[in-house]
Chains A and B, each alone.
Chain A
Amino acid sequence: MPELTELEARLTQLAPELDWPTTPDLSHSVSVRITMRRAWYQSRWAIAAAAAIVALAALLAYAPARDTIAGWLNLHTRIQRVGQLATPTPQPPGPLGQRLGLGGLTTLEQARGALTWTVLVPSSLGQPDEVYLQLPPIAPPQGEVTLVYSERLGIPTSGQTGVAVLVTEARGAVNAQFFGKILGPATTIEDVTVGGHHGYWIAGKPHIIYLTDTQGNIRDETLRLATNTLLIDEGGTIVRIEGDLTKAQVLQIAASL
């Protein structure tokens, strides 16, 4: 369309004429901040990475463990076991969605309209108090939705998230990984089956969770401590249920999906 080409040329010519606000010099302020944070940052990753490499090498050398890792991959989740769990810095204050990297606040109806797959809602928890939607390329290829539940009967508010239960759901291409977990020695992981669907129950001491984007990059804002978590494959939808929950409670929630 020649008209558009001409219009595009006019827009391009306009670019150098724009009156942008003066760009502040950020190099000094950024330099100060990264220098202040350098010690904990390098320490955390050095410990986690070194321990993860050793632990992963040990796991891979043991035949049954290879099967387990393959199972984990089917849940689009990379799980690493480390000898010492470094502690991420506390989450900054702010709205829940921003603090936990959940995406934009929306409604269940809008989230369902924006996604091509079925968003599951656990009937035992009732309607979620808040719903967040994250889309690619930040989220997995087919998007990610998080249902947020405030305190429910018998389920306290979690000190890690500030809410009672988080239910995160996503679908992705085969072999894509979009959840990552780093488990210390005081965190247990066990196979579970709910309604014929396979999953893992991660409990005990809080573990580190992070989410990745479609490029496989760690979404930095999502790196935090997580409490007890159930990961389950509900017919291709990976459901992650997190809260200060007992195994019986989480299995009941998962069974009501």
Chain B
Amino acid sequence: MEGRPEDVELFARAQRGDTAAYEEIVQRYQQLAFRTAYVITGSAAEAEDAAQEGFVKAYRALATFRAGAQPRPWLLRIVANEARNRVRSAARRHQLELRVAEGFRPGDAAPSPEAAAVAAEDRRRLLGAVNELSEEDRQVINCRYFLELAGDETAATLGILEGTVKSRLSRALARLRARVEGGAPGTGSARPGAPRGDVPPQEEGSRA
């Protein structure tokens, strides 16, 4: 994902000490940063703290940002690292449970009530299946499809290599497909707090 020229200019100004430019960077990226932290922490409050701390740390580290580099992976790495640190030090871990927004209607069609109900059930089942995957699988799918991050941005967010993103995503999609098509027990009926795969003490994936 290409960084827009305005981003490059904003970062250059911020590096020269222009705090107004950095404030604009925060406004521009705060939704992405917050949602990224939310995907990792599973808590809106933790995500807000992590995103805020990430932006402060990024400002302090602006001198290390290389001119012309893409700002999104750089920012995401810092925010995600902060979010992961909070998860590691938290007394209890929040379970991320994404949901389809109430009342959402696709804008390109006016389906019959029956068709709309079928489509809504299809979306609910798919999201339920995603929510029931292991944390590792969910995170890579959330990053790529729900946060719509590029491969290098996903790698920066998850603290793994880009090649590992591809292999991990491939495995996660295969497991998701098996759940959706195979109707694995519990598919589509996400249960808050239901046990999921054990969370490893440290991300794998440095040697894919």
Contact = CB atoms under 8 A, between A and B. Distances in A.
A23 B173 contact: no
Interface in A64-111: 94-95, 97-98, 103-107, 110
B52 A26 contact: yes
Interface in B38-52: 38, 44, 47-48, 51-52
B159 A23 contact: no
A14 B127 contact: yes
Interface in A7-43: 7-8, 10-12, 14-15, 17-21, 23-27, 29-31, 33-35, 37-38, 41-42
A97 B204 contact: no
Nearest to A19: B101
A137 interface: yes
Given A19-B100, A137-B155, A27 B27 contact: yes
Contacts of B35: 20, 23
A85 to B, nearest CB: 17
A220 B56 CA distance: 11
Interface string B76-107: 01100100010011000000001111101000
Nearest to B122: A10
Indicate the member of B30, B159, B161 with the most A CB atoms within 10 Å: B159
Given A98-B89, A220-B60, A24 B177 contact: no
Contacts of A17: 100-101, 104, 123
A4 B74 contact: no
Contact of B65 (A49, A217, A221): A217
Nearest to A135: B206
B16 to A, nearest CB: 11
Given A8-B173, A31-B19, A14 B61 contact: no
Interface stretch (B4-12, B140-148, B190-198): B140-148
Contacts of A31: 19, 22-23, 26
B183 to A, nearest CB: 15
Of B51, B65, B74, B145, most buried by chain A (CB within 10 Å of CB) is B145
Contacts of A137: 77, 155-156, 159-161
A10 B126 contact: yes
Given A4-B173, A14-B145, A26-B26, A106 B31 contact: no
Interface residues of A, number: 59
A30 B55 contact: yes
Interface string B159-184: 11100000000100110110011000
Given A30-B55, A142-B206, A19 B99 contact: yes
Contacts of A24: 30, 34, 48
The interface size bin for chain B is: 35 or more
Contacts of B155: 137
Nearest to A11: B145
B88 A14 contact: no
Interface in B110-142: 122-123, 126-127, 130, 141
Contacts of B51: 26
Given A12-B145, A137-B156, A7 B88 contact: no
Contact of A221 (B57, B145, B173): B57
A135 B127 CA distance: 30
Contact of A35 (B19, B66, B85): B19
Given A7-B176, A27-B23, A30-B52, A217 B30 contact: no
B205 to A, nearest CB: 7
Nearest to B174: A4
B1 interface: no
A30 B146 contact: no
A22 B178 CA distance: 33
Given A14-B126, A220-B78, A26 B145 contact: no
Contacts of A38: 17, 19
Contacts of A159: none
B89 A94 contact: yes
A215 B71 CA distance: 13
Contacts of A98: 85, 88-89
10 contacts: A8-B145, A11-B145, A21-B34, A24-B30, A30-B55, A30-B59, A116-B207, A135-B205, A136-B161, A221-B57
Q: Closest 8 A-B residue pairs measured CB to CB?
A: A104-B202, A11-B145, A21-B44, A19-B101, A135-B206, A220-B61, A23-B31, A218-B64
